[in-house]
Amino acid sequence: MSNILIRGVTVLTMESHDSVISDGIIAIAGDRIAAVGLHNAIPAGFVAGREIDGAGMVALPGLVNCHTHAAMTLLRSYADDLPLMKWLNEKIWPLEAKMQSEDFYWGTMLCCLEMIKSGTTTFADMYFEMNQVARAVEESGMRACLSRGMVGVGPGAGKAVDENIRLVEEWHGQAGGRITTMFGPHAPYTCPPEYLKKVIELAARYGVGIHIHVAETKDEVQQIQENYGTTPVRHLDAVGIFEVPTLAAHCVYLDKGDIEVLAEKKVGVAHCPESNMKLASGISPVEEMLKSGVMVGLGTDGASSNNNLDMMEESNNNLDMMEEMHCAALLQKVACGDPMAMPSFKTLQMATSGGARVLGLPDVGMLKTGMKADLILVDLRRPHLCPQHDIIAHLVYSAQSADVDTVIINGEIVMEGRRVLTIDEKKVMAEAQMCADRLVGK
């Protein structure tokens, strides 16, 4: 790993709305940022093994995808235009039961390829065969927080716990520290209280967090109310799940008391606007959560519930955090009836530093000395990014995934000139297609 110096770049540090440096430099030593500043801020004695010309580019922290199911790329467009429970019970879960180890590996590699090409450097994944997922993360060069999805009813409940334990024991802190782990109980409606209590005890014992779907649909809220006489959030609080660090995905149906619990217990929320829209799950009260002090990041969810289309050249990306930012901002404005809701900097925070906080990664999400060298360069020399009145607004409202030119993760150049260096793109796509064809019987 050689030192890297980026010159002549506009730097968006994400420390504040005004933290924009023109004609700046970023010095990277090993896996960390050694200096960020004006062109003359290169540290004394710093010798770069590689220099990058950043003219015409903006550097910002790599995007953080707080909730996905990576290998579901193989199920993209397989079952569209269905409500969540019908989609899961009749289409997704039956096909997932047929998936083999190689499917999880190639599906995750395809996911990593998509995310790298759209500027995502870190993601949180909850799925199965997580050793194959971890292997793909290690080889792709990405940073990830992994959990084994666990359904607490049925014959596989105990096996799922054992597999999550093995994931934590074998992979936490691996891949040069790029892989961290959590426990992944699926949701309060699929995991009974005693099962959740066992998971809480394990998370506390291993010193890791919990990743769980919460209050995603009206059906879930009704089911929890009928079974436990309360809301999903307050039910989980009573069980004790929020006593360990928790990543709560979706959080669409919340009342004021729920939001107060999330803020008080420092629960991280993964907001997935496009998935929630596609499945007609509803609109999460993100603006209210942020005003109440809840930590909120952005997530795409799995590709089969978020197959958005980016019309820019070279880009047909279903795990596109650029598009997720755009939708998140617009959706809150219309939901709140307020054009000032979810301003661009707040939205970009959710996709970078806010997402890092949600995942419990204190040294990711900002460009400042001592932080991990996870950053992207976005090419501003595009007609749709001209004129440049407000770069932050451009990134949220106008930029496309195809504008991402360079991706650096943990101090390593993973993509340059839109060419991914860690993944054989053609091979991954061919293998993923063969896996998907076998699954659907082609």
Per-residue confidence band for 51, with pLDDT thresholds at 50, 70 and 90: very high
Which DSSP symbol is given to 272? -
- With CA atoms as reference, report the closest residue to 75 among 57, 61, 86, 88: 88
Domain final position from 341, 358, 375: 358
- The beta strands (E) that lie in 260-411 are given as 268-271, 295-298, 375-379, 404-409
Examine the pLDDT at 78 and tell me if it is beyond 90: no
Q: Which of 85-89, 149-153, 340-344 has the lowest mean pLDDT?
A: 85-89
178 and 286 assigned to the same domain: yes
Residues 350 and 378 in one domain: no
Banded pLDDT at 91 (limits 50, 70, 90): confident
% of the chain with per-residue pLDDT over 70? 95
User: b/e for 374-388, b at 16 or more Cβ within 10 A?
Assistant: bbbbbbbebeebeee
**Looking at residue 327, which CATH number applies to its domain?**
3.20.20.140
pLDDT of 359 over the 80 cut: yes
Asked whether residue 231 is assigned to any structural domain, the reply reads yes
Q: How far apart are CA 180 and CA 32, in angstroms?
A: 18
Using the 8-state DSSP alphabet, how is residue 200 labeled? H
Residue 127 included in any domain: yes
427 in a domain, yes or no? no
Answer yes or no: do 109 and 251 share one domain. yes
Give the tokens for residue 113.
């390829």
- Token pair, residue 327, equals 């939708």
The pLDDT-based confidence of 317 (bands split at 50, 70, 90) is: very low
Task: Indicate the number of domains in the chain.
Answer: 2
Residue 426, in any domain of the structure: no
Residue 271 lies in a domain: yes
Average the pLDDT over each of 104-108, 300-304, 360-364 and give the range with the smallest value: 300-304
The answer to the question of residue 80 being in a domain is yes
Asked if 50 and 146 sit in the same domain, the reply is: no
Task: Tell me: pLDDT of 303 over 70.
Answer: no
Please check whether residue 425 lies inside any domain of the structure: no
Q: What angle do CA 74, 251, 228 make, to 5 degrees?
A: 110
Based on the fold, state whether residues 325 and 296 are members of the same structural domain: yes
Residue 330: inside a domain: yes
Handedness of CA 183, 185, 187, 189 (dihedral sign): negative
Final residue of a structural domain among 328, 358, 388: 358
Quick: pLDDT tens for 4-34: 999 999 999 999 888 899 999 999 999 999 9
How confident is the model over 114-126, as pLDDT tens digits? 999 999 999 999 9
Tell me: do 16 and 38 sit in the same domain.
yes
| Each residue's pLDDT tens digit, 250-297 | 999 999 999 999 999 999 999 999 999 988 899 999 999 999 999 999
pLDDT at position 309 over 50: no
Please check whether residues 10 and 126 belong to one and the same domain.
Answer: no
As a residue count, the chain comes to 442
Q: Are residues 79 and 200 in the same domain?
A: yes
Same domain, 50 and 84: no
Contacts of 389 (CB under 8 A, 6+ apart): none
- CATH code assigned at 48: 2.30.40.10
- Indicate if the alpha-carbon torsion angle 71, 73, 74, 78 is positive or negative: positive
- Please tell me which residue, 40 or 429, carries the higher pLDDT value: 429
Please indicate, yes or no, whether residues 269 and 381 belong to a single structural domain of this protein.
Answer: no
Other beta carbons within 10 Å of 23: 14
Segments forming the whole domain that contains residue 406 = 4-62+366-418
- Report the run of H or E that residue 99 belongs to, with start and end: none
Dump pLDDT digits (tens) for 208-260. Answer: 999 999 999 999 999 999 999 999 999 999 999 999 999 999 999 999 999 99
Condensed to tens digits (0 to 9), the pLDDT of residues 188-205 reads 999 999 999 999 999 999
In the structure encoding, which two tokens stand for residue 407, read together? 């991706």
Find the Cα–Cα–Cα–Cα dihedral 23, 27, 32, 33, rounded to 10°: -40
Cα separation of 434 and 376, whole Å? 32
Residue 312 has pLDDT above 70, yes or no: no
Please tell me the distance from the alpha carbon of residue 64 to that of residue 78, in angstroms, as a whole number. 26
In terms of domains, do 189 and 118 share one? yes
Dist. CA 75–CA 274, nearest whole Å: 17
The answer to whether residues 290 and 149 belong to one domain is: yes
